[in-house]
Amino acid sequence: MDRGFLFGDSVYEVIPVYNNKPFRAEQHLTRLANSLAAIQLTTPLDNNNWHKIFAELIQQNGGGHQSIYLQCTRGFSPLRDFPFPNNIKPTIFAYSAPLHSKSVAELSQGISAITVKDIRWLRCDIKSTNLLANVLLRQQAVAQGAQEAILVRDGFAVEGSATNLFVVKKAKLITPVKNNLLLGGITREVVLELAAQQKITFVERAIKEKELSTADEIWLTSSNREIMPVMQLNTKPVGDGQAGPLWRKMIAAYQEFKQKL
Ligand SMILES: Cc1ncc(COP(=O)(O)O)c(C=O)c1O
């Protein structure tokens, strides 16, 4: 009778761990706090206690590289009813699994993607466990032999089913502005910080669907999958069909950034 199960009344985080250390933990916890506030759920633990849970999970799973999954639901109530029950206690669920990061050589093999109509709701900025639309859209990609679906709303490409979108055109990096139609990815933030450090010109603006077909490079980013170059879009090559020069520069900077931590 947990509302996370019955209604998807819950939010979550996925946090990669490199060499025992959660990557960008503070940013993940800030996003968790924002998601909790957006669904009017009082934060059940403070950051110190979240860190204790992370440390325990990492240690119990043998340390090294892992991926922590963390979910907070509104909790259990014996009566299934839509409004929030009074005096309900949030449920916390967390686990850690091995992180199978790809090497740069493996990542440089690239992925294929398809474009699909974004059928999600209007609060995609909340990291909600209501992921049915994302699941169905990703499955559509897989059924067509692709690895990710790029979601298009009203003629604009917003993000992937579980990734943020970057386009390179004439050596300029473009990513959609953060708003209610996409999730503010932690990896997206790192990529923008590294772009500034690497003196790569970038802009946050809406990307028209048709810009995808003339892009020099397309990347999709997420915590566990890092930065993936898209080699094929709707079965057509992206740019020259190879991992592009700006992607090579960015993935090198990303690996160095991880090492430094
Ligand atoms: C819809 C969506 N967009 C973007 C991302 C990437 O976010 P992050 O870089 O924080 O993993 C995710 C990750 O799960 C996602 O589900």
3-state secondary structure string, the chain? Answer: CEHHHHHCCEEEEEEEEECCEECCHHHHHHHHHHHHHHCCCCCCCCHHHHHHHHHHHHHHCCCCCEEEEEEEECCECCCCCCCCCCCCCCEEEEEEEECCCCCHHHHCCCEEEEEEECCCCCCCCCCECCCHHHHHHHHHHHHCCCCEEEEEECCEEEEECCCEEEEEECCEEEECCCCCCCCCCHHHHHHHHHHHHCCCCEEECCEEHHHHCCCCEEEEEECCCEEEEEEEECCEECCCCCCCHHHHHHHHHHHHHHHHC
pLDDT in tens, 165-204: 999 999 999 999 999 999 999 999 999 999 999 999 999 9
Write out residues with Cβ below 6 Å of ligand 1.
14, 159, 162-164, 183, 185-188, 221-223
Which protein residue has the closest C-alpha to ligand 1 atom 14?
Answer: 162
- Predicted pLDDT of residue 223: 97
Tracing tokens 């990542």 back to the chain, one arrives at 107
Structure tokens at 198: 């690497």
- Most ligand 1 atoms within 8 A of CB, residue of 163, 187, 192, 228 to mutate: 163
pLDDT band at residue 261 under the 50/70/90 scheme: confident
Which protein residue has the closest C-alpha to ligand 1 atom 16?
Answer: 162
Asked if 17 and 65 count as a contact pair (C-beta separation under 8 A), the reply is: yes
User: String of b and e for 167-179 (b: at least 16 CB within 10 Å)?
Assistant: bbeeeebbbbeee
Looking only at Cα atoms, what is the longest distance across the chain? 58
Closest ligand 1 atom to residue 14 Cα is 11
- Domains plus CATH for the chain? 3-98 (3.30.470.10), 104-260 (3.20.10.10)
Structure tokens at 129: 């466990």
In angstroms, what is the span from residue 165 Cα to ligand 1's centroid? Answer: 10
Residue 126 has pLDDT above 90, yes or no: yes
| Residue-averaged pLDDT of the chain | 97
Closest ligand 1 atom to residue 188 Cα is 9
In angstroms, what is the span from residue 149 Cα to ligand 1's centroid? Answer: 13
Phi-psi region of 27 (alpha: psi -120 to 50; beta: other; left: phi over 0): alpha
CA 14 distance to own-chain centroid: 8
Q: Please list, in sequence order, all residues whose beta carbon lies within 8 angstroms of the beta carbon of residue 93, skipping any fewer than 6 positions away.
A: 4, 70, 71, 72, 73
Closest ligand 1 atom to residue 223 Cα is 11
Residue type, 90: P
In angstroms, what is the span from residue 92 Cα to ligand 1's centroid? Answer: 20
Question: How far is it, in rounded angstroms, from Cα 41 to Cα 84?
Answer: 10
Options 127, 172, 210, 258, the catalytic residue: 127
In angstroms, what is the span from residue 222 Cα to ligand 1's centroid? Answer: 5
Section 27-40 average pLDDT: 98
Question: How far is it, in rounded angstroms, from Cα 4 to Cα 138?
Answer: 22
**Could you confirm whether 102 is annotated as catalytic?**
no
Residue type, 111: I
- Predicted pLDDT of residue 234: 98
Which protein residue has the closest C-alpha to ligand 1 atom 15?
Answer: 162
pLDDT band at residue 29 under the 50/70/90 scheme: very high
Section 18-29 average pLDDT: 97
Section 64-83 average pLDDT: 97
Closest ligand 1 atom to residue 190 Cα is 9
pLDDT in tens, 128-149: 999 999 999 999 999 999 999 9
